[in-house]
Amino acid sequence: MNVGIVTTFLVGGIFLISILSFNQQVLLTTQELTLNSINQNNINDIVTVMTNDFNRIGFNTGSSDPFSRIDDDDIIFQSDAHDTDNFGVTNVRWYLDTSDPVTTTSNP
């Protein structure tokens, strides 16, 4: 056998393995950054909604006690949650769902 061909195959194989390893590392980093970005956007959306609702507790209700229910994992209060609608005062409920987590969905 020709020593040059064998050496070329060995160097090429090592080079190919290093490229595949680098590609795998880049994919993992990209996946982690994407998931972190999605989670941060979801948290920001939740904070925006909660800030809007909690800042308006009792707004335009005419009541000195706007809370209908306050528990450890459930709160119901009266509020005019949105100025632009025609519904006036509504009950807003925030609660923690402690049921079993969803393991499957109907989405494909």
pLDDT digits (tens, 9 = 90+) for 22-60: 999 999 999 999 999 999 999 999 899 888 877 778 776
Asked if residue 64 is part of any domain, the answer here is yes
- Provide the whole-model pTM: 0.58
The structure tokens 């509504």 sit at: 90
Residue 66 has what pLDDT? 85
Asked if residue 88 is part of any domain, the answer here is yes
Asked if residue 103 is part of any domain, the answer here is no
DSSP-derived letter for residue 76 is E
Which has more pLDDT, 77 or 60? 77
Residue 26 has what pLDDT? 97
Residue 108 has what pLDDT? 66
Asked if residue 67 is part of any domain, the answer here is yes
Predicted confidence (pLDDT) at residue 107 exceeds the cutoff of 90: no
Residue 91 has what pLDDT? 83
81 CB-near residues (< 8 Å, 6+ apart): 52, 53, 56, 90, 92
Asked if residue 105 is part of any domain, the answer here is no
Asked if residue 78 is part of any domain, the answer here is yes
Q: Which long-range contacts (CB under 8 A, 24 or more apart) does 39-48 make?
A: none
CA–CA separation, 103 and 80 (whole Å)? 36
Residue 25 has what pLDDT? 97
Asked if residue 104 is part of any domain, the answer here is no
Domain count, the chain: 1
Residue 90 has what pLDDT? 81
Q: Which of 104, 79, 107 is nearest to 91 (CA)?
A: 79
Instruction: Give me the domain span that covers residue 63.
Output: 3-95
